[in-house]
Structure 1
Amino acid sequence: MGNWLSGTPSEYGSSPQRGGPSLTANSNNQGNYSGNTNSNNSNYNNTININHSDTSPSRKHTEILQCLYTSSYESHRDRVPEPVEGTCTWVTEHQKYLDWSAKKTSGLLWLSADPGCGKSVIASFLVTHLKNQRNAIVCYFFFKDDSNEQKSATFALCAILHQLFSQRTHLCKYAEEAFKTKGAKFTEEVGTLWDILVKVVAQGGCGDVVCVVDALDECEQETLTPLIRHVTRLPGPQTSDTPLKFLVTSRPYHNIERDLGTPPTTIWLKGEDAVNAITADVMRVIDEGIEGLESCWERPGGLGYLRKLLQSSADRTFLWVSLVLGILRDSGDGSPEEFTNIASTAPRDLAELYTKILDKSKYPDKARRILNIVVAAVRPLTLREMKIAFGIRREGGSIKDLGDLPSGFEKTVRNLCGLFVRVIDSKIYLVHQTAREFLIRGSLPGQGNWQYTLCPKDSNFIMADISISYLSQEEFESAPLETDAYGQVSGEAVDHFVQKYGFLDYAAQHWPDHFRDSHDHGMKLFEITQQICETGSKRLLTWLQVYWFNNRWFNPFPKDWTHMMIASMLGQGTVVERLLQEGGDINTQSDIYGSALNIAAMWNDEGMAKRLLEGNAKAYVDGEELDISHVKTPHGLKSLVQN
């Protein structure tokens, strides 16, 4: 018996990963996940049936493309402002860029620059420039640490492959083997994705491929390290004839310089040394900004005095200029006296300028709530989602009480937070990465009322409270998400429901993340969490259906899970301990998935499995209790039992 939790390795894959049950390449398996022989599996069918042996090449390629579309990479680039006419061209004229561009083989160009110096604008400019100037396929990805789908190197490589395959569909064949053996999980491995990329470019006959990757410093460390390792080996013997080039940007951080700048084959263009070029671009931005102000205030040629004031204070920082120009646009009467006062008294230090912007808020407590929400959010919230999150409270009420999104809510957010936040395509962002760094508490004391005042643990608690409070609303008990006769939910039903209930999609998917990242604070929400995890309740079935569906888990949906099982799946150890203290039955069995211990093992959570074992939890196979001490455990759980 190779797999102690519930069946054969062919049913679950060889190495289940935390965050979801093991999926198979052939996802039409409907085996009994607990081994119980008395369950009625005919009541469950999967929403997606992938059977590679019966799939045509075009169908396979469609499925591969769908798997690779893990992030909205086009809209991520759209967040970046358009460059002012005449700016950014210094990069394409720089000798380091010319050396990289002239290489006939693979190569890496690293453009470093300090915060606020326009790296993302340059990266976006270069995407367009390369597409216009080179006979090559140009792919891109923009990292941002305010969105989960912009933090990981796996998402970056998926986006690059998706762009490649979208332009040359026949290249999908190079991903078929990984897709056949690993299913959709091939998109979760940096090494697998990199190997596909190199093979495609080396063997696919697609010509030169150029990848522009912005803000490496905002990539999570876990996947950044292997990505840099692969990229810096590009000019090696095995890839010397591969026409694959990378152009990456980042801040000149020590850890990135150590790994990226050390190899002699890396061409390093130091933007921090290009003082004259960046200063000239800043002057162009000021000129355009002054022209815009003159047009806005109907004073053509009348604001030249501001140009000199801004030029003397800009200190080569595009961000500073952008913020001050925004303050001038939003000024009260536009008088010369007011303009002069704003431009001459604006702090040159960015932290002081941020403080001044936020200190103007008439309702600092409301502004702080919005900033806590923006900082903690797993992805940028829409205005509609922010309206709900901002207004909901734990003490009760109804979703109807929150009302529809008023037309002036964007203005409300701007009035509360000023230029510290931006709204792009109806989504709310902090104005810049430095704004996030300004707010979040670190080891150093902050200055004023805002700097370093937000604690991630507290911000996540606020978001956990908001999300769980929303899911506990009466509407989800009285009007639950509809399922078919087999207990399954369709994509259309999910789409309809999340459109109707504006915060359901976010709350259902991400309340566990915020609960976890609240650490010990999260247990203050234990009682209200019980409401949304009560076995058989419509609230539970609604959010869990949305959670299950959006995580692309094609395994049968569990209608009979207990709070103990859910906490085991989510890795909520403190909740499991509390439930045990209150007399919760640790060995209740789900018809399909077995006990909480079966579930912890299926999700490959070694810590949770160990905790449950210490509480005398039992696992079951074929409906019979398993003597764990005599069974070989799967990879990752060997320390839990004796072989």
Structure 2
Amino acid sequence: MSAGQSNTPFGEPSSSQSAPLSTNIHGDHSGNTGSNNTTNSGNTTNYNYCNHVPMNSPENYTEIVQCLYTSRYEEHRNRIRKPVEGTCNWVTKHPRYKDWLDNNTSGLLWLSADPGCGKSVTASFLVKHLECQTDAIICYFFFKDDNDEQKSATFALCAILHQLFARRNSLCRYAEKAFKDKAKRFTEEVDTLWSILVKAVSEGGCEDVICVVDALDECEEVTRAPLLGHLASLSESQNPDVRLKLLVTSRPYHSIEREFGPRTMTIRLKGEDETDSVTADVTRVIDEGINNLEEYWRRPGGLGYLRDLLISSADRTFIWVSLVLDILKDSEDDSPEEFTNIVSTAANGLAELYTKILDKSKHPDKARRILTIVVAAARPLTLREMNVAFKFRRDRKTIKDLRDLPPGFEKTVKNLCGHFVRIIDSKIYLVHQTAREFLLASSSPGRGNWQYTLYHKDSNYALADICISYLSLEEFEDDPLAMDTYGNINKNAVRDYRQKYAFLDYAAQHWADNFRDSEAQQMELFESTRLICRAGSQRLWAWLQIYWSNTNQQYLCPRDWTHLMIASWFGQRAVIERLLGEGDDINARSDRFGTILNITAVRRDNNTTRMLLEKNARAYINGKEYNILQVKRSVGYHILYQWVT
């Protein structure tokens, strides 16, 4: 930004335009930002982008890599279980894998397999294997649909570019033009990010680049479609100048198979057909599991009778084996009769096993509340956050009587939900993607008390209600989070505030997501949102600053937003129409953001923008008001026009 240029989306003059621009990256949820630990081949290198710019890097290297750090991709990979010794090697020995790896041109290898057959473990294994066995730059991303950071193809490409630029700083120059033209918005476009990746690899003079992308089927549809097109085109071109190889894993879905079809040169390794290899790996997992059980129960050599029973029942499904072994470990009775009964009654498949696990809960209503929150959460909740969400009720006015995380709450969660959930680094996850699919309503009728009994919109409504009620607490009006005179947010203050109020980080960042995904039910919460969105209230500033500090916005947090402007920012069309119907000013102006027409255009909410245009909403560009439908050409008009037409 040049000297004297306004720090606003549309060049609006601002009383605080001399304030320094604060740029944040997504850090951990304690508020730590500005550094990232990137692991390659087991060596951890600290890249502190705020304090050190590597040699031969573009001038704006720091800003670009900060924009690209949109997800904690290393942490997400660390969720994956480590493979048992000797497993996954069959992939590296397979002729199709060797053909893909040894080919001197660009290429795509698609490793497909059925649910629960170890795709993610294999992908993580291959990242390490490729780092050790090749001289290529290895980048990776693991999709998961239980976390907003792991759902989008833009996040995947950002993570890959972040790893690539960390290894070869000079390649960052291929992102400079997009950054100068679009600022951080270039990170929101699949086509732009893909183009940067291909150019950096083909023109940057670096060695081979190999990207491992896991669970492509869990990528959201809106960004998966363009990514699939680019992956197919790379495979089709077989360009020797693009030294880029990709290995993707997914379930064998027809929608993916259609894109990687006969017209491309995609190499497909069908894990679902490699029955002998997968069975051998399952057997290795069972053997290690039995050895661990024998050590745990102090019965060396005494549990071999379980081996054949487990192998015959596993149906090549690693998650089934893992769950049964965990249940055997936690059994109160280690008699052969009890162990045989556990394995035999679990032999009817994952659905029966999941039902059996949840039916054991002594408090099914409490277990259901936890699972409702887990499936609706935009990211995995910590134990401390779950403690608040689990206990919170709408009628609370103050947080004083809500105890902090009690000793043993992890045990409480496990007692309620059993092995249906996993707790990793104090965060709560469902045990597997199939567990989520087991719970959420389907077109097919469920069996028992749990299968297909949770509805997406109902779960989101429940969590939105918790979030909005939490943000309405008196503490956030009486104990505000302060900004400085320029409207900047002090990172230490944010960190301390988050620590003080355990559920604030999630509620501030994601209440609007859960509100949106409540679908038609959302307006039942409309009156509750008035309190947290009232212009000038301390409750509004408390959550909005927490939200703003973690969204990597290049503009300062607004201090003059109304409820109508907030609804416009979050795309709450029903709320916008309700507020306009109550007489709110459609052309009210924010100092930095203009009118709600400006805001919906910036957010690229085309449907709402068109609705506002039909209501003769006006826009502010460079400090001037325009009825955009009556203007053929104006200063800055084309900037707005490209978003609203």
Q: Does TM-score exceed 0.5, indicating one fold? A: yes
1:46 corresponds in structure 2 to 21
1:202 corresponds to 2:202: yes
Give the secondary-structure state (helix, strand or coil) at the position aligned to 1:333.
Answer: coil
In 2: Cα distance, 1:404 partner to 1:639 partner? 46
CA deviations on 1:441-499 (whole Å, 9 max, x unpaired) are: 12221111111111111011011111111111111100100111233322222222112
1:452-463 matches, cutoff 5 A: 452-463=452-463
1:426-437 matches, cutoff 5 A: 426-437=426-437
Give the secondary-structure state (helix, strand or coil) at the position aligned to 2:342.
Answer: helix
In 1: Cα distance, 2:227 partner to 2:579 partner? 42
Give the secondary-structure state (helix, strand or coil) at the position aligned to 1:304.
Answer: coil
1:524-563 matches, cutoff 5 A: 524-563=524-563
In 1: Cα distance, 2:628 partner to 2:531 partner? 33
What residue identity is the alignment partner of 2:104?
Answer: K
1:311 corresponds to 2:311: yes
Give how far 1:221 is off.
1.8
In 2: Cα distance, 1:624 partner to 1:278 partner? 66
1:106 corresponds in structure 2 to 106
Q: Which moved more, 1:330-339 or 1:359-368?
A: 330-339
Give how far 1:87 is off.
0.8
Give how far 1:155 is off.
1.3
1:29 corresponds to 2:5: yes
Give the secondary-structure state (helix, strand or coil) at the position aligned to 1:245.
Answer: strand
Q: Which moved more, 1:317-326 or 1:553-562?
A: 553-562
1:79 corresponds in structure 2 to 79
Cα gap change, 1:606 to 1:194, in 2 (>3 Å): closer
Give how far 1:341 is off.
1.2
What residue identity is the alignment partner of 1:82?
Answer: K
> RCO higher in 1 or 2 (8 Å CA, sep ≥ 6)?
1
What residue identity is the alignment partner of 1:572?
Answer: Q
Give how far 1:261 is off.
3.7
1:290-301 matches, cutoff 5 A: 290-301=290-301
Sequence identity, in percent?
Answer: 63
Cα gap change, 1:156 to 1:629, in 2 (>3 Å): closer
In 1: Cα distance, 2:359 partner to 2:300 partner? 32
Do the aligned partners of 1:26 and 1:49 also contact (CA within 8 Å) in 2? no
Give how far 1:511 is off.
0.8
CA deviations on 1:140-171 (whole Å, 9 max, x unpaired) are: 11111111111111111111121122122222
Give the secondary-structure state (helix, strand or coil) at the position aligned to 1:176.
Answer: helix
Give how far 1:338 is off.
1.5
In 1: Cα distance, 2:483 partner to 2:595 partner? 24
1:255 corresponds in structure 2 to 255
Q: Which moved more, 1:345-354 or 1:579-588?
A: 579-588
In 2: Cα distance, 1:188 partner to 1:201 partner? 20
Do the aligned partners of 1:604 and 1:637 also contact (CA within 8 Å) in 2? no
Give how far 1:439 is off.
0.9
1:6 corresponds in structure 2 to none
Give how far 1:331 is off.
1.0
User: What are the ranges of 5 or more consecutive residues in structure 2 without an aligned counterpart?
Assistant: 26-52
Give how far 1:512 is off.
0.9
What residue identity is the alignment partner of 1:29?
Answer: Q
Give the secondary-structure state (helix, strand or coil) at the position aligned to 1:466.
Answer: helix
In 2: Cα distance, 1:27 partner to 1:476 partner? 37
Do the aligned partners of 1:357 and 1:420 also contact (CA within 8 Å) in 2? yes
Q: Which moved more, 1:611-620 or 1:344-353?
A: 611-620
Give the secondary-structure state (helix, strand or coil) at the position aligned to 2:247.
Answer: strand
What residue identity is the alignment partner of 1:332?
Answer: E
Do the aligned partners of 2:613 and 2:629 also contact (CA within 8 Å) in 1? no
In 2: Cα distance, 1:261 partner to 1:246 partner? 16
Give the secondary-structure state (helix, strand or coil) at the position aligned to 1:486.
Answer: coil
Give the secondary-structure state (helix, strand or coil) at the position aligned to 2:116.
Answer: coil
1:94-243 matches, cutoff 5 A: 94-236=94-236, 239-243=239-243
Give how far 1:275 is off.
0.6
1:473-484 matches, cutoff 5 A: 473-484=473-484
1:283-294 matches, cutoff 5 A: 283-294=283-294
Q: Which moved more, 1:469-478 or 1:153-162?
A: 153-162
Give how far 1:634 is off.
4.8
What residue identity is the alignment partner of 2:126?
Answer: L
Do the aligned partners of 2:375 and 2:459 also contact (CA within 8 Å) in 1? yes
Give how far 1:407 is off.
2.9
In 1: Cα distance, 2:4 partner to 2:405 partner? 42
CA deviations on 1:62-84 (whole Å, 9 max, x unpaired) are: 22222211111111111111111
2:60 corresponds in structure 1 to 60
CA deviations on 1:108-129 (whole Å, 9 max, x unpaired) are: 1111111111011111111111
In 2: Cα distance, 1:557 partner to 1:333 partner? 59
Give how far 1:224 is off.
1.7
Do the aligned partners of 2:22 and 2:554 also contact (CA within 8 Å) in 1? yes
Do the aligned partners of 1:487 and 1:559 also contact (CA within 8 Å) in 2? yes
1:279 corresponds in structure 2 to 279
Cα gap change, 1:32 to 1:295, in 2 (>3 Å): closer
What residue identity is the alignment partner of 2:499?
Answer: Q
In 2: Cα distance, 1:233 partner to 1:626 partner? 43
Do the aligned partners of 1:27 and 1:48 also contact (CA within 8 Å) in 2? no
What residue identity is the alignment partner of 1:375?
Answer: V
1:465 corresponds in structure 2 to 465
Give how far 1:314 is off.
1.2
Q: Which moved more, 1:259-268 or 1:414-423?
A: 259-268
Give how far 1:578 is off.
2.5
In 2: Cα distance, 1:94 partner to 1:615 partner? 62
Do the aligned partners of 1:30 and 1:555 also contact (CA within 8 Å) in 2? no
Do the aligned partners of 2:23 and 2:552 also contact (CA within 8 Å) in 1? no
In 1: Cα distance, 2:616 partner to 2:173 partner? 49
Do the aligned partners of 1:35 and 1:594 also contact (CA within 8 Å) in 2? no
In 2: Cα distance, 1:264 partner to 1:588 partner? 53
Give how far 1:510 is off.
0.9
1:308-347 matches, cutoff 5 A: 308-347=308-347
In 2: Cα distance, 1:380 partner to 1:36 partner? 38
What's the C-alpha RMSD, in Å, of the aligned pairs?
A: 2.5
Q: Which moved more, 1:334-343 or 1:372-381?
A: 334-343
Give how far 1:303 is off.
0.9
Do the aligned partners of 1:44 and 1:486 also contact (CA within 8 Å) in 2? yes
Cα gap change, 1:453 to 1:634, in 2 (>3 Å): farther
1:571 corresponds to 2:571: yes
Do the aligned partners of 1:558 and 1:592 also contact (CA within 8 Å) in 2? yes
In 2: Cα distance, 1:391 partner to 1:574 partner? 30
Do the aligned partners of 2:393 and 2:466 also contact (CA within 8 Å) in 1? yes
In 1: Cα distance, 2:514 partner to 2:24 partner? 32
Give the secondary-structure state (helix, strand or coil) at the position aligned to 1:401.
Answer: coil
In 2: Cα distance, 1:49 partner to 1:188 partner? 16
In 2: Cα distance, 1:268 partner to 1:241 partner? 23
Give the secondary-structure state (helix, strand or coil) at the position aligned to 2:260.
Answer: helix
Give the secondary-structure state (helix, strand or coil) at the position aligned to 1:239.
Answer: coil
In 1: Cα distance, 2:263 partner to 2:12 partner? 56
Q: Which moved more, 1:197-206 or 1:352-361?
A: 197-206
Q: Which moved more, 1:584-593 or 1:382-391?
A: 584-593
Give how far 1:33 is off.
6.3
Cα gap change, 1:237 to 1:372, in 2 (>3 Å): closer
CA deviations on 1:207-235 (whole Å, 9 max, x unpaired) are: 12111111111111222222222222225
Give the secondary-structure state (helix, strand or coil) at the position aligned to 1:139.
Answer: strand
Do the aligned partners of 2:110 and 2:249 also contact (CA within 8 Å) in 1? yes
Give how far 1:256 is off.
0.6
1:585-624 matches, cutoff 5 A: 585-613=585-613, 617-619=617-619
1:494 corresponds in structure 2 to 494
Cα gap change, 1:244 to 1:29, in 2 (>3 Å): same
Do the aligned partners of 2:601 and 2:644 also contact (CA within 8 Å) in 1? no
Give how far 1:287 is off.
0.6
Give the secondary-structure state (helix, strand or coil) at the position aligned to 1:108.
Answer: strand
Do the aligned partners of 2:236 and 2:264 also contact (CA within 8 Å) in 1? no
1:503 corresponds in structure 2 to 503
